[in-house]
Amino acid sequence: MNTLDAMVEFGHEQVAMYSDPETGLRGIIAIHDTTLGPSCGGTRMWPYESEAEALADALRLSQAMTYKSAAAGLNLGGGKGVIIGDSRTQKTEALLRSWGRFVDTLGGRYLTTTDVGTVGRDLETIRQETQHVVGLDVTLGGSGDTSIMTGLGIYMGMKACASEAWGADSLRGRTVAMQGFGKVASHTAEHLLEEDARVFAADISEGALDRARSMGVQVVGVDEIPGMECDIFAPCALGGVINHKTIKQLRCQIVAGGANNQLATPEDGETLHHRGIIYAPDFLINAGGVINAAAEIGQTYNPERARQQTERIYEKMAEVLATSRKNEMSTAKAANMLAEARLASVRKVRGIYRK
């Protein structure tokens, strides 16, 4: 499939590609939908095996950002930037500044922040070449580390699902199996441990596992975690982990985690529903990061305001669960309806037609 066909399939407005032989930069920015406002999404640096793989990731992730912002009630659209390369060995100041110049050519249609393979210091470097950056350190007037609010939002989503599954939202004594233990998972685990939940984690990084152990999280093998008997399975690494193969392994009542695009296909959401497993749509409960970033756009950042809006993820998740129950549909479909209804209403007001 060529790029234009892929854009039509996913409903994208724009895809921009950039190459800088001097720095080795090869990157893509996908802008999915700007109905609600400028597109916003992190810059991901990953050693993709091909341009096609990088493009597919940018398209999927930017589409998810549209739904994430719409469902969260933000005036932002969906975008995502991807850089083809290994962040551990190929990330340089020159490459990041070149990326910043690329972002700047879009004139504010895309606002970038951190993602897999980029950190706050990288944003400071990118900021040297463009103003269209969110999530800078609070000492620089930004909203800071997006993973803190993301972790809080996931925790709130878990509690809403717990209320649906067990009649009370307490997670005390519940077992949570976390697949991946990066920054977002760590912050989610802090809330879980504070409520006396039992937390298990698997990760390919020894550093992440050391952090887990230091927090009191029990470490298990990466092959063991998908089939582990638990109350909540929390995918917190890369996408596509909920698929026809792994669904058969699941021994949980709830799937709720921080990874983007957890479902390999839309049908996997239906399969979870038919199996009686409650699924917390990823774009709904991991929206804390973009909520936090949005709190600095055009205003002085207020952490309490960002926290209060992130805590409302509980209410959003409860609404999706109620819609799912009432209409006997999957939570994945119910969450999509919530986001699409807001997009449709704003398009109507603005006289925008999209198929």
Please tell me whether residues 153 and 297 are part of one structural domain: yes
307 within some domain: yes
Q: Which of 53, 125, 60, 59 minimizes the C-alpha distance to 84?
A: 53
| DSSP state at residue 118 | -
Query: Does residue 121 have a pLDDT over 70?
Result: yes
Placement of tokens 């620089």 in the chain: 140
327 within some domain: yes
Query: Does residue 1 have a pLDDT over 70?
Result: no
Helix, coil or strand: residue 114: strand
Give residues with Cβ within 8 angstroms of 293, minimum separation 6: 40, 111, 113, 134, 135, 143, 146
Query: Does residue 355 have a pLDDT over 80?
Result: no
Placement of tokens 């649906």 in the chain: 164
pLDDT at 9: 86
Please tell me whether residues 95 and 204 are part of one structural domain: no
Domain count, the chain: 2
Give residues with Cβ within 8 angstroms of 338, minimum separation 6: 70, 71, 284, 316, 319, 320, 323
Q: How confident is the model at residue 48 (pLDDT cuts 50, 70, 90)?
A: very high
pTM for the whole structure: 0.91
Kindly state the percentage of the chain with pLDDT values over 70. 99
Residue 13 sits in a domain of what CATH number?
3.40.50.10860
316 within some domain: yes
Q: What angle do CA 240, 245, 250 make, to 5 degrees?
A: 90
Which domain covers residue 196, as residue numbers? Answer: 147-341
Residue 80: active-site member = yes
Please tell me whether residues 88 and 151 are part of one structural domain: no
pLDDT at 354: 65
- Token pair for 110: 């895309």
pLDDT at 139: 87
352 within some domain: no
Residue 234 sits in a domain of what CATH number?
3.40.50.720
Please tell me whether residues 109 and 163 are part of one structural domain: no
68, 80, 159, 183: the active-site residue: 80
Would you state the torsion angle of the CA atoms of residues 144, 54, 332, 280, taken in this order, to the nearest 10 degrees?
Answer: -40
Please tell me whether residues 184 and 323 are part of one structural domain: yes
Please tell me whether residues 123 and 165 are part of one structural domain: no
pLDDT digits (tens, 9 = 90+) for 94-110: 999 999 999 999 999 99
Please tell me whether residues 169 and 207 are part of one structural domain: yes
317 within some domain: yes
CA 244 vs CA 180, 249, 279: distances in Å? 20, 9, 15
Please tell me whether residues 204 and 317 are part of one structural domain: yes
Give residues with Cβ within 8 angstroms of 165, minimum separation 6: 253, 254, 278
Please tell me whether residues 174 and 34 are part of one structural domain: no
Q: Judging by beta carbons within 10 Å of its beta carbon (0-12, 13-18, 19+), is residue 212 exposed, middle or buried?
A: buried
350 within some domain: no
Q: Which amino acid is at 286?
A: N
Q: Which of 72, 63, 122 minimizes the C-alpha distance to 98?
A: 122
Kindly state the percentage of the chain with pLDDT values over 90. 88
Please tell me whether residues 28 and 125 are part of one structural domain: yes
Instruction: Kindly tell me the number of DSSP H helices and DSSP E strands found in the chain.
Output: 14, 11
Please tell me whether residues 194 and 291 are part of one structural domain: yes
pLDDT at 298: 85
Phi, psi angles (nearest 5°) of residue 180: 100, 135
Dmax of the chain from CA atoms? 59
Please tell me whether residues 222 and 248 are part of one structural domain: yes
